Amino acid sequence: MHEFGLTRSSYRRDHLLQTPDTFVRAPLPGMNKATAVVHVAPSIGARFMQYTAEFEAGGTLAPAAVQRFFYVLEGEVLCPGHGVLHAGDYAYFPEGCETSLSATAASRAAVIEKHYQILEGAAPPVFFAGSENFIQAQPLMNDPSLAVRALVPDGVSFDFAVNIMTYQPGASLSMVEMHVMEHGLLMLAGSGIYRLNDCWYPVAAGDFIWMAPYCPQWFGALGKTPAKYLIYKDWNR
Ligand code: UGY
Ligand code: MN
């Protein structure tokens, strides 16, 4: 923190930028030898919750009452019935799933939780797990410098999407987006400028952003290494 109380963090009606210097850690119910940085929750008007779970070796996270998406940032987390998840691996737990997670080494994970919105005629989703390394990258709007990896399978069973977007240095979104979906975004690597409504923010790895529905948004990557982020959006409903 700057000695005069300066920070890049900012909270406006339709967006939040939360930088690591302002993170507050507190355990959530169901955590043991673990703590959470809650980035966004219904208290801000969001229809989902996103937090970073930080585990000591041996730390555990109990099942959620709602559906959960779990993406490992670093360390090793045991997912019973599946195996050990490493950085870049992820798992999805449907509502009512009884699986607890336990860290076999000091670990950090991005966790998204959301009440499942039933769609008549669509089968409810089931557990799956994967690794970003095995997901085929698709160029966004034919731009080879902007790659999208979809971590959640296509299909109306799912009421949200989680993508990894990778921008080569100098790449940018080709338009200012304004859409009904909200976003939770965790910067994984690199840096750039994020436009949120009428504000332009310098952002870097470790930062979190929440965008409310219709928040005007645009990103351009800066620096000499790719910028990469994990982005949630409500989808298919
Ligand atoms: O999927 C999206 O809406 C994505 N292109 N938005 C964003 O990167 N801010
Ligand atoms: Mn968007």
Judge if the beta carbon of residue 172 lies within 6 A of ligand 1. no
pTM over 0.85: yes
What pLDDT score does 142 carry?
A: 95
Mean pLDDT by groups of 10 residues along the chain of 237 residues: 88 98 97 98 97 98 98 98 97 97 98 97 96 97 97 97 98 98 98 98 98 98 98 97
What pLDDT score does 156 carry?
A: 96
| Residue 85 CA, ligand 1 centroid: distance in Å | 26
Given a contact cutoff of 8 angstroms between Cβ atoms, the answer to whether 183 and 210 are in contact is yes
Judge if the beta carbon of residue 231 lies within 6 A of ligand 1. yes
Q: Output the CA–CA distances (angstroms, integers) from residue 28 to 49, 56, 159, 237, in the order listed.
A: 12, 14, 24, 29
Q: Which ligand is nearest to the CA of 167?
A: 1
What pLDDT score does 1 carry?
A: 56
What pLDDT score does 3 carry?
A: 81
CA nearest ligand 1 atom 9, residue:
217
DSSP secondary structure, the chain, as one string: --TT---S-EEETTEEEE-GGG---BPPTTEEEEEEEEEE-GGGT-SSEEEEEEEEEEEEEPPPSSEEEEEEEES-EEETTTEEE-TTEEEEE-TT----EEESSSEEEEEEEE-----TTSPPP--EEEEGGGSPPEEETTEEEEEEEE-SPSSTT-SEEEEEEEE-TT-B-SS-B--SS-EEEEEEE-EEEEEETTEEEEEETT-EEEE-TT--EEEEEESSS-EEEEEEEE---
Identify residues whose C-beta is under 5 A from ligand 2, the ion.
177
| Residue 27 CA, ligand 1 centroid: distance in Å | 30
Q: Which ligand is nearest to the CA of 235?
A: 1
